[in-house]
Amino acid sequence: MKQALLVIDVQNEYFTGKLPVTYPENSLENIKKAMDHAQASGIPVAVIRHTNPAPDAPTFRKGTPGWELHDEIRSRHADIELEKHLPGSFTGTALAGWLKENGITTVTIAGYMTQMCCDTTARQAFHRGYAVNFLSDATGTLSISNTAGSIDAADLHRAVLITQQMRFSRVMTTGEWIRGA
């Protein structure tokens, strides 16, 4: 099993922008731990950044402070940085080719948001034949309210983790992943 860590959308928009991630509280600390472990263990790291291509986009507009990677992510090693325009990290990016070139068979998911880009990327990876680890405490989300209803961040996060564990991913904590559990 050769694995890669996918660090998805750890951008300022989720910290100082319009979409502040609130759950779990320690998700950024665990993302940093996962990146540091990957670097120390020779596990390749792909850092993926979302860009909204609309020129008047209210979030993730290229070149804005919210679009920038969080300083803690920028300061860490990445083997490749990719830009995406849709929730799935495989769609319209070089991710699939990079994973194939590096002989990767397992991807580990960390980043934001649990129910959107992390969930979509995990499902895409599973559909492409990869084994998937989904880090329960190194992914995160916020409470959502729209015309379909409302859900708090903890319930939304838990619902996605339960669904991922049903079929698509092996859900684990960052500590379990680091220990090779």
Q: Which residue has the tokens 């950024």?
A: 28
Burial 111-130 (b: 16+ CB within 10 A, else e): bbbbbbbbbbbbbbbbeeeb
- Whether 32 sits among the annotated catalytic residues: the reply is no
Q: Check 32, 33, 117, 119 and give the catalytic one.
A: 117
- Whether 9 sits among the annotated catalytic residues: the reply is yes
- Whether 118 sits among the annotated catalytic residues: the reply is no
First to last CA, the chain: 14
Q: Check 9, 32, 33, 118 and give the catalytic one.
A: 9
CA distance 140 to 14: 10
Give the chain's length: 181
**CA separation (Å) from 85 to 31, 93, 148, 167?**
22, 9, 24, 26
Q: Check 84, 118, 119, 137 and give the catalytic one.
A: 84
CA angle 146, 147, 148 (to 5 degrees): 90
Q: Where in the sequence numbering do the catalytic residues fall?
A: 9, 84, 117
